[in-house]
Structure 1
Amino acid sequence: MKNRLTKYLTEFSSLKLTRPISDKVRLLEISGVVLTGIGKFFFMDYLNWRLPFVVVAILGWSYYVYYRYKKDKNVLKDWGFGFSNFKSVLKMTWPFALVSIALFFLIGYIQGTINLTWHIIPLLITYPIWGSIQQFLTIGLLAGNLNDFKKIKFSKSFIIIITAVFFSIIHYPTIWLMIGTFDLALFYGHIYLKAKNIYVLGLFHGWLGALFYYTVVNQDPFTDVFLKYF
């Protein structure tokens, strides 16, 4: 009896902490995502401030996550920051990852662009952090908010496609990156609208992205981003 009462009190407490998010807030979050995407073209592509932009974006959006969490303790779970469904989402994701890796090496072999060096190791460690932020922005805030609008209801297919198009456009002008990120966002959007877990999506984003650069795109992000500062 005591355990059951404790359970009910815990559930009631969590309900009190949950605050409904207005469409205005959701629209502001989507606008912030779009502005971040526009900032990529100016700071990363035009000014070539790749590392400073990534660092500022990570810190800025991390602060926003903390700010929202202080107001609503359940917002992290609502966005998909949690481990309760980590294994189940991992099971849905790893077959796609294996097929993607096989395609990377096949395309790289045909193109003659496979160039695996030790530079990929630090990227495999650090890129999932940036990958998680990107998934939080494009899948969590963009697709998630479009799906949860109260006054306007979009079909899931429309949400997934518009998110994939946006994610692809911000990787212009590298064609291979645009193709790869479009396909990735299609799959991730489908997964996220079924079961939210930013950690799994960010982890695979980082690992697949790093491998994609050294097999298909024929670029060395470690040299372009880090070594130029030393």
Structure 2
Amino acid sequence: MKNKLTALMIEFSNLKLTRPASDKIRIIEIIAVALTATGKFVFVDYLNLRLTYVIVTILAWLIYVIYRYKKDKLVLKDWGFRTDNFTSVIKLMLPFAIISILSFFIIGYFQGSLNITWHILPLLITYPIWGIVQQFLTIALVAGNLNNLKCMKLKKISIIFITAILFSIVHYPSTWLMVGTFTLALFYGYVYLRVKNIYALGLFHGWLGALFYYTVVNQDPFADVFLKYL
């Protein structure tokens, strides 16, 4: 009985304890994110294979997430894939979201770019999925890893600023998208380093991003990505 109890305690301990990722792993992850971002310029901007790029990116990183999870059962929570603080993070982000939406409509009204159609409805459902992926790559793997590096200690404000610049560059050459994503990443970086929740960040990213396209950018991603295959 004593031996069984000891074995159960050891097993429980192994489930609860996690070995922090090494600096080598963190740096490799940051480089992998940079390569993924570079692929956007090749496959989306040059080859015009947006949907293919999105699908391949999601599948490739999903495989990596599963691999890391098998090595460390707590890595998902460490990255921010958690639900225990979802409501509190939503409340924290809500004022920013409201101000953003009002700004979108004001800018769209004055520049004549308001173009709300039914196409936004499927994007409000599907875009948060892509938003979660983007927040995982940009905020969790870049900002999170930079914050946890042992070989190089950066101030949080520097980490947030670096992450925002990188996220903005990925959206080149659209000026509005670069400005919007830079502002978004500044706030999201602050939220993530304060309280981690990729689900909340991805949800707001998807909804705000979809609305941003149809009010400020005057583009129709649904038509660009899906309708050409119909």
TM-score of the alignment, normalized to the shorter chain, above 0.5: yes
- Please give the alpha-carbon distance, in whole angstroms, between the structure 2 residues aligned to 1:11 and 1:139: 31
SS of 2:83 mapped into structure 1: coil
Q: What displacement does 1:151 show?
A: 1.5
Residue of structure 2 equivalent to 1:175: 175
Structure 1 unaligned segments of length 5 or more: list them: none
Confirm or deny that 1:12 pairs with 2:20: no
Structure 2 unaligned segments of length 5 or more: list them: none
Equivalences for residues 96-135 of structure 1 within 5 A: 96-135=96-135
Q: Say how many residue pairs are matched.
A: 223
- How far does the alpha carbon of each residue in 1:40-91 deviate from its partner, in whole angstroms, 9 at most, with x for none? 0000000000000001001111111111001100000000001011011111
Equivalences for residues 58-207 of structure 1 within 5 A: 58-207=58-207
Residue of structure 1 equivalent to 2:209: 209
Residue identity opposite 2:132 in structure 1 = S
SS of 2:123 mapped into structure 1: helix
Q: What displacement does 1:12 show?
A: 3.2
- Please give the alpha-carbon distance, in whole angstroms, between the structure 2 residues aligned to 1:57 and 1:219: 23
Q: What displacement does 1:13 show?
A: 4.1
- Please give the alpha-carbon distance, in whole angstroms, between the structure 2 residues aligned to 1:93 and 1:138: 18
Q: What displacement does 1:11 show?
A: 7.0
Q: What displacement does 1:20 show?
A: 2.1
Q: What displacement does 1:95 show?
A: 0.7
- Please give the alpha-carbon distance, in whole angstroms, between the structure 2 residues aligned to 1:19 and 1:66: 17
Matched residues, percent identical? 67
Q: What displacement does 1:27 show?
A: 0.4
Q: What displacement does 1:161 show?
A: 0.1
Q: What TM-score does the superposition give when structure 1 sets the normalisation length? A: 0.94
- Please give the alpha-carbon distance, in whole angstroms, between the structure 1 residues aligned to 2:125 and 2:16: 37
- Please give the alpha-carbon distance, in whole angstroms, between the structure 2 residues aligned to 1:216 and 1:152: 39
Residue of structure 1 equivalent to 2:29: 29
Residue identity opposite 2:225 in structure 1 = V
Confirm or deny that 1:54 pairs with 2:54: yes
Residue identity opposite 2:56 in structure 1 = V
Residue identity opposite 1:15 in structure 2 = K
Q: What displacement does 1:228 show?
A: 0.6
Q: Do the aligned partners of residues 223 and 71 (structure 1) sit closer, same or farther apart at CA in structure 2, a change above 3 Å counting?
A: same
Q: What TM-score does the superposition give when structure 2 sets the normalisation length? A: 0.94
Residue of structure 2 equivalent to 1:43: 43
- Please give the alpha-carbon distance, in whole angstroms, between the structure 1 residues aligned to 2:26 and 2:147: 10
- Please give the alpha-carbon distance, in whole angstroms, between the structure 1 residues aligned to 2:15 and 2:105: 47
Runs of 4+ with deviation above 3 angstroms: 9-16
Q: Do the aligned partners of residues 177 and 72 (structure 1) sit closer, same or farther apart at CA in structure 2, a change above 3 Å counting?
A: same
Q: What displacement does 1:15 show?
A: 3.5
- Please give the alpha-carbon distance, in whole angstroms, between the structure 2 residues aligned to 1:172 and 1:102: 24
